[in-house]
């Protein structure tokens, strides 16, 4: 009887001490307070606490039942039954101690769910955002690389052309710097110039002959009140008009127009060279004409 009494006291004291420790419900500040993960952990701990309280309630009920049954058998049972009951209580005590220790360990361990946690979801979201940003950056880099490649190809073409021009100019410079080549070039230039002069003289001679034959001097237009009273009327020579037009084109290219004074020309000659496309009138002044620009 003394042993059973001591066992009951030990179990009762252990249960009382554990209840006091659990009843304190100590809280430790954490950086996850107020977050979804922190609230989830608090809920898990609260559920485990409720389970521990239910287990301890069952433990107290078992303790009361065993105590009551043990006291009844204490006076009625024989010595061998008391020894068997004591061994049973010891075994139950050890089992209860193991159960308490196991519950204590489980209360300090937060079970990890098999599904994705908040941190994993946040990490995946950040990773997805980073991948999208890197994808956009890669497109920009590819476009820039393509533009740079095109510009490089154009620069290479220009460089090739410049090298060809440089080589040609250098070759020509080498040829010119040689005394024989310089002398030869000078002779060729003089020869070409002489040929052009001869050709120009021949053309001008043929033009003079043509104009003298088909466009001889003709009296100018009679202008009432200007030259109608003169005994001798001036003549208009087409060759002189063309000569003046050519001289103005060479000497005054910025203003090559010839002013036609009344009583100094014959109108059919002027209309002839205009219709033939040799000369044109000034759009602002019909009494001005100029030689048409001829391009060979």
Tens digit of each residue's pLDDT, the chain (296 residues): 556 666 667 776 766 666 666 565 555 566 666 676 667 777 777 777 778 778 877 777 776 776 666 544 444 444 566 677 777 778 888 888 888 777 777 765 555 554 557 777 888 888 888 988 998 989 888 898 889 889 999 999 999 999 999 999 998 888 777 777 677 778 888 999 999 999 989 998 998 899 888 989 988 888 776 666 655 678 888 999 999 999 999 999 999 999 998 888 899 999 999 999 999 999 999 999 999 987 64
DSSP letter assigned to residue 237 = -
Cβ atoms 245, 256 nearer than 8 A: yes
Question: Per-residue DSSP letters for 116-178?
Answer: --HHHHHHHHHHHHHHHHHHHHHHHHHHHHHHHHHHHHHHHHHHHHHHHHHHHHHHHHHHHHS
Q: CA nearest 89: which of 16, 11, 13? A: 11
Q: Rounded to an integer, what distance in angstroms lies between the CA atom of residue 288 and that of residue 256? A: 9
Q: CA nearest 15: which of 85, 87, 93, 67? A: 93
Residue 2 has a pLDDT of: 59
Q: Rounded to an integer, what distance in angstroms lies between the CA atom of residue 255 and that of residue 252? A: 5
Residue 84 has a pLDDT of: 72
Residue 94 has a pLDDT of: 82
Compute the C-alpha angle 41/98/20, nearest 5°.
60
Q: Rounded to an integer, what distance in angstroms lies between the CA atom of residue 268 and that of residue 254? A: 28
10: Cβ contacts below 8 Å, ≥ 6 apart: 93
Contacts by 219-225 with C-beta closer than 8 Å and gap 24+? 219/266, 220/263, 220/264, 220/265, 220/266, 221/262, 221/263, 221/265, 221/266, 221/267, 223/262, 223/263
Residue 223 has a pLDDT of: 75
Q: Is the dihedral of CA 112, 118, 123, 128 positive or negative?
A: positive
């Amino acid at each position: 009887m003394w042993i059973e009494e001591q066992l009951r006291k030990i179990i009762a004291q252990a249960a009382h001490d554990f209840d006091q420790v659990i009843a304190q419900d100590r809280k430790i500040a954490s950086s996850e307070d107020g977050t979804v993960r922190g609230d989830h952990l608090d809920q898990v701990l609260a559920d485990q606490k409720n389970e521990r309280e239910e287990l301890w309630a069952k433990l107290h009920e078992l303790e009361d039942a065993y105590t009551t049954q043990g006291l009844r058998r204490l006076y009625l049972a024989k010595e061998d039954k008391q020894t068997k009951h004591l061994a049973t209580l010891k075994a139950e005590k050890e089992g209860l101690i193991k159960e308490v220790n196991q519950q204590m360990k489980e209360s300090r361990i937060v079970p990890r769910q098999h599904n994705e946690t908040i941190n994993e979801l946040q990490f995946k979201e950040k990773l997805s955002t980073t991948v999208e940003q890197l994808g956009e950056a890669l497109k920009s880099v590819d476009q820039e690389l393509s533009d740079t490649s095109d510009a490089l190809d154009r620069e290479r073409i220009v460089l090739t052309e410049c090298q060809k021009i440089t080589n040609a100019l250098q070759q020509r410079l080498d040829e010119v710097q040689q005394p024989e080549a310089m002398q030869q070039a000078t002779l060729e230039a003089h020869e070409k110039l002489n040929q052009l002069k001869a050709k120009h003289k021949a053309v001008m001679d043929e033009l003079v002959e043509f104009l003298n034959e088909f466009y001889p001097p003709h009296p100018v237009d009679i202008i009432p009140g200007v030259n109608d009273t003169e005994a001798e009327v001036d003549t208009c020579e087409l060759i002189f008009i063309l000569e003046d037009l050519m001289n103005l084109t060479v000497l005054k290219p910025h203003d090559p127009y010839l002013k036609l004074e009344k009583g100094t020309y014959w109108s059919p000659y002027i209309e002839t060279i205009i219709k033939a496309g040799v000369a044109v009138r000034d759009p602002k002044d019909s009494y001005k004409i100029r030689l048409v620009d001829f391009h060979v």
